[in-house]
Amino acid sequence: MAPRSNPSERQRRLGAELRRLRVRAGLSGERAAAILDADRARVSNIETGRIDVSRNRLHKVLQEYGCPPGPYFDGLMAMAQENGRGWWDEFNDTIGPAARDLAELESRSTVLRTHEPLVIPGMLQTEEYARAVLEATEKDRRRAHRYAEFRLARQRVLTGESPVMYRAVVHEAALHTQVGGAAVMRRQLLRLMEMSRLPNLTVQVYPFEAGIYAAHTQSFVLYGSAAPELETVYLEHPTNSLFLRDVSHLDEYTKMFERLSELALAPVDPESAPESHASRDSLSLIQHVMYAL
């Protein structure tokens, strides 16, 4: 089989991890080729995600590279077993490779942590809000609506049989930014409070008075894994979104999120009694903005 020209993020990640393990073990590409009973070119293609490696060979390689049994070993084996297909295939008429990568990554994550400075996070958006956001940049109305359907389908990971843990820090600016008009915004803010009733969700608002720290972080998502080594940072960009996997990046963005969480108001808790909101918290701020619309 010829090497693929556009490997998925999962395929690139598996290859990058194998290269990292090989280098850490002090093994050359030639030695890796001998282990795989292949040539050096095939090893290079595997390490760039352009060619798959069978589970049997991967198991042997991981042992030879000194990777001990555990969540990291199991995570790599699971990545090799996956074929990249899933519910997102029904949207192949609209979405591109980056969107498929996100859906696949979300499907195997254990926790999602996100910071949004200007809009409500996609995983918490109503359909009409999502359409309004997408129509602002997508000239094809039908395509924008189709992409909104895909965005809502991604929300299944929050409410399925094994829902992922989700933590969001949303800047107060996102509550005030008019998207689709006042009625759409009221329903969106109500949805934000309703979603916060789910036991696996935590939503905090970063208020204006907390200062400028949030301005330095931009929008990002941290995808957690049972193996910390396999966590990922996603930075969305109009022309070239990025998946970061270096340990230094993971540490930096984890610290960023925790600092944002510390500076933000207490989490939304729609089940709490009214008297518990004597001090300002995320729920009272969302309600204040919603009633003012």
Residue 45 is assigned to a structural domain of this protein: yes
200 neighbors 112 (Cβ within 8 angstroms): no
Answer yes or no: is 71 within a domain: yes
Please tell me the distance from the alpha carbon of residue 218 to that of residue 235, in angstroms, as a whole number: 8
Q: Domain check: are 99 and 73 in the same one?
A: no
- Residue 86 domain flag: no
Count of the separate structural domains present in the chain: 2
Do 136 and 264 share a domain, yes or no?
Answer: yes
Q: Please say which residue of 28, 59, 81 terminates a domain.
A: 81
pLDDT at 160: 84
Q: Which residue type, as a one-letter code, is found at position 244?
A: L
Q: Do 67 and 126 have their domain in common?
A: no
169 and 241 in a single domain? The answer is yes
The whole-number pLDDT of residue 278 equals 53
Question: 4 in a domain, yes or no?
Answer: no
List the CATH number of the domain containing 170.
3.30.870
Residues 26 and 16: their CA atoms lie apart, in Å, by 15
**DSSP H/E element including 72:** helix 71-81
Is pTM, for the whole model, over 0.85? yes
**Residue 42 counted as domain residue:** yes
Output the DSSP codes for 81-135: H--S-SGGGGGTTT--HHHHHHHHHHHT-SEEEEEESSS--GGG--HHHHHHHHH
Exposure string for 201-227, b = 16+ CB within 10 A, e = fewer: bbbbbbbeebeeebeebebbbbbbbbb
Is 2 part of a structural domain of the chain? no
Q: What CATH number does residue 29 fall under?
A: 1.10.260.40
Locus of tokens 């960023």 = 256
Q: Is residue 142 located within the same domain as residue 286?
A: yes
Kindly state the tokens that stand for 67.
């990777």
Same-domain pairing of 244 and 136? yes
Same domain, 76 and 95: no
Domain membership of residue 20 (yes or no) is: yes
Please report which helix (H) or strand (E) contains residue 258, including its range: helix 247-263
Q: Residue 77 is part of which domain span?
A: 9-81
The pLDDT profile of the chain, 293 residues, written as one tens digit per residue, is 678 889 999 999 999 999 999 999 999 999 999 999 889 999 999 999 999 999 999 999 999 999 999 999 999 999 999 988 999 999 999 999 989 999 999 999 999 999 999 999 999 999 999 999 999 988 888 999 999 999 999 999 999 889 999 999 999 999 999 999 999 999 999 999 999 999 999 999 999 999 999 888 889 999 999 999 999 999 987 777 899 999 999 999 999 999 999 999 999 876 665 555 556 799 999 999 999 98
